[in-house]
Structure 1
Amino acid sequence: MSFSISVKQNQYITYILADESALSRLEVVPERGGIITRWSIEGQEIFYLDEERFTHPELSVRGGNPILFPICGNLPDNIYVYDGHPYSLKQHGFGRTLPWEVIEQSAESSCKLTLSLKSNSETLEMYPFEFELKFMYELEGKTLKIHQEYNNKSDKVMPLSFGFHPYFLVKNKEQLSLDIPASSYQVKDTKEIIPYDGNFDFNEEEIDVALKPLTRSSASMIDRSRGLKLDLKWSEQYSTVVFWTLKDKDYVCLEPWSAPRNAISTGENLIELPPGETCEAMVEIDVTSL
């Protein structure tokens, strides 16, 4: 059988999902925000990871595929108001910093690792809702699927946004072709709306833009220097793709978000989940060799 799940103890307990027939290998660190830190196919790393920074638990992770919940992006002064009370949430929320729990695993017809994050006294101070999240990472061949369940366990409507922040390893951005299904984007700092023709100026020090509205539920990226094509697909809840990169870093981030930044205050594309209900969502990444 070509599928296996093993565990190794590094600084953190790391789960390794492997499809030996495809030489595809995924690493997950539950206690660091349930993050996928690595994915390699035929020896090529798909994700960038700042390994030195990762050893410092107080710093945010730069690399892998961080989880965004219950907000995407940042809030003005990190504050939002619910029911007349101000609450503080740091950028991208707390899903990417809290420890997740492994609740199920299987290596039969594919590798499946299911993680759970539940509300607790710490989360309730920042976000006054009882919840349970269940994410199943499924690896088969050169395809990664992330099945998500967002469960509202409270007795009131729960406002939420969710998404991912994948850092794709790109060593030569001039050899990159992007296909993102939007005709304009909003610049983070200036809020300016600019027409998008498929190109970015990688000589800029930083690119941080939100592409919306989206005209389909998929995007792709061809990296000619590495001979790879990456296809991203997402379920209907995802409304926005954020593209972020820094000039001197070997990564680009192509981030599916269910809502743009500050949606918890503006209501734009905000999901409002009734008590006791579940929102199911999916993100899939497929890699092919050119």
Structure 2
Amino acid sequence: MSFSISAKQNQYITYILSDESALSRLEVVPERGGIITRWSIEGQDIFYLDEERFANPELTVRGGVPILFPICGDIPDNVYVYDGQPYHVRQHGFARNLPWEVVEQSTDSCCKITLSLTSNEETLKMYPFEFELKFVYELQGKTLKIYQEYINKSDKVMPFSFGFHPYFLVNNKEQLALDIPASSYQVKDTKEVAPYDGHFDFNDEEIDVALKSLKRNSASITDPSRSLKIDLKWSEQYSTIVFWTLKGKNYVCLEPWSAPRNAISTGENIIELEPGATCEAIVEIDVTSI
């Protein structure tokens, strides 16, 4: 059979999803925030991973595909107010820092692994809602699909946003062709809104911009230096694409967010889920050789 799932004990238990016919291999580390750490196709890595940061549980991971929940980005002073009470939650939320549980595996027609994260005493101090998240990572050929379920298990309406922070490995940023379906972006620090024409100045020390008013649910990165095109697709709940990179680092991040930063306070594009209800979403990444 060309599909297989195995587990190996590294610093953390790592699940390896393999599609042998496509030489496609995905690594998932449930304990470290349910993160996808690696994806290689025909021996070529798709994602960047900072190994030193990954090895240090005190640090957030830079690399792979970190999960963002219940906020995307940061909020002023890491504090928001709900029902008159202040709550502290750090940048991108806590889902990426908590251990997830593997609840199902399948290799019938593709590789599928289902992970779950449930609210607990620790999360309730930061976010006063009971919830369950269920993510299915599905690998088939050169396609990765991430199916998500956000379930409100509390007795009140649950406000949240969600997203992903994929780090795409690149050798030469100057050669990249970016197709992001927006005509303007907002700079994180200055809040300046500037027209977007498909190009960024990679000589800047940092690029951290949010692209909203998206014209379609897909974007792409074409990387001639690696002979790859990466297509990113997302379901309708995603309203914002964040592009982030640092000078001298061989990655670019193209991040689908359901809402912009600080949405939990401003309400912009925030999802308000009724008690007992489920929000379903999907992100898909397709890789082709060029």
- Aligned partner of 1:44: which letter? Q
CA deviation profile, 1:78-134 (whole Å, cap 9, x unmatched): 000000000000000001000000000001100000000000000000000000000
- Residue 175 of structure 1: CA displacement? 1.1
Residues 135-183 of structure 1, C-alpha deviations (whole Å, 9 max, x = no match): 0000000000000000000000000100000000011001100000000
Runs of 4+ in 1 over 4 A off after TM superposition: none
| Partner secondary structure for residue 238 of structure 1 | coil
SS at structure 1 position matched to 2:225: coil
- 2:166 corresponding residue in structure 1: 166
1:72 aligns with 72
- Partner secondary structure for residue 208 of structure 2: strand
Give % identity. Answer: 82
Q: What secondary structure is seen at the aligned counterpart in 1 of 2:178?
A: strand
Structure 1 distance, partners of 2:178, 2:207, is 14
The alignment status of 1:134 with 2:134, answered yes or no, reads yes
The CA distance in 2 between the partners of 1:242 and 1:43, in whole Å, is 28
- The CA distance in 1 between the partners of 2:73 and 2:52, in whole Å, is 24
**1:177 corresponds to which residue?**
177
How many Å apart are 1:14 and its aligned residue? Answer: 0.2
- Letter of the structure 2 residue corresponding to residue 270 of structure 1: I
1:90 maps to a residue whose letter is: R
Aligned to 1:15: 15
Structure-1 separation of matches of 2:70 and 2:222 = 31
Matched, 1:261 2:261: yes
- Matched positions, count: 290
2:105 aligned residue: 105
Distance 1:107 1:4 in 2: 6
Segments of 5+ residues of structure 1 without an aligned counterpart are none
How far the C-alpha of 1:37 sits from its partner, in A, is: 0.2
Shift of 1:52: 1.3
Name the SS for the 1:73 alignment partner: coil
Paired residues for 1:235-246 under 5 Å: 235-246=235-246
Render the CA deviation track for 1:19-47: whole Å, top value 9, x for unaligned. Answer: 00000000000000000000000000000
Residue pairs, 1:1-290, within 5 angstroms:
1-290=1-290
- Which amino acid in 1 is paired with 2:55? T
Q: Deviations over 1:183-236 (max 9, x none)?
A: 000000000000000000001000000001111000001000000000000000
Is the partner of 1:53 in helix, strand or coil? helix
Equivalents in 1 of 2:45, 2:108: separation in Å? 25
Once the two structures are superposed, what CA deviation does each residue of 1:28-73 show, in whole Å capped at 9, x if it has no partner? 0000000000000000000000011111000000100000000000
**Alpha-carbon distance between aligned partners in 1 of 2:40 and 2:212, rounded to the nearest angstrom:** 30
How many Å separate the matches in 2 of 1:3 and 1:51?
A: 27
| Distance in 2 between residues matched to 1:36 and 1:275, nearest whole Å | 30
**CA separation in 2, counterparts of 1:205 and 1:213?**
26
Structure 2: runs of 5+ lacking an equivalent: none
- 2:113 maps to a residue whose letter is L
Instruction: Find the residue that maps to 1:125 and give its secondary structure.
Output: helix
Local SS of the residue matching 1:213: coil
Distance in 2, matches of 1:54 and 1:125, equals 26
